[in-house]
């Protein structure tokens, strides 16, 4: 999957704050994501993130 830094990912399940969107801040074997709702930072394995993506937005355009 082509995911880049500053992409907005809409996930299938919400964060406890209620937000479904995350911003990618680091890529590699793990992704570092920042919640759009509360700003919480998490590191997740690439496989788990790619499995739970519903939509990818880059520069206001929907990629997936």
pTM of the shown model: 0.91
Is residue 4 over pLDDT 90? yes
> Which tokens is 27 given?
């890529």
Summarised one tens digit per residue, pLDDT across range 5-23 is 999 999 999 999 999 999 9
Please determine, for residue 35, whether its predicted confidence score (pLDDT) is greater than 90.
Answer: yes
- Rounded Cα distance, 39 and 47, in Å: 22
pLDDT digit string, tens, across residues 36-64: 999 999 999 999 999 999 999 999 899 88
């Amino acid at each position: 999957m082509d995911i880049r830094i500053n992409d907005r990912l809409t996930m299938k399940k919400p964060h406890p704050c209620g937000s479904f969107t995350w911003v990618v801040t680091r890529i590699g074997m793990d992704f570092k994501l920042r919640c759009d709702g509360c700003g919480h930072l998490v590191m997740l394995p690439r496989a788990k993130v790619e499995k739970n993506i519903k939509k990818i937005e880059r520069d206001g355009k929907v990629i997936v």
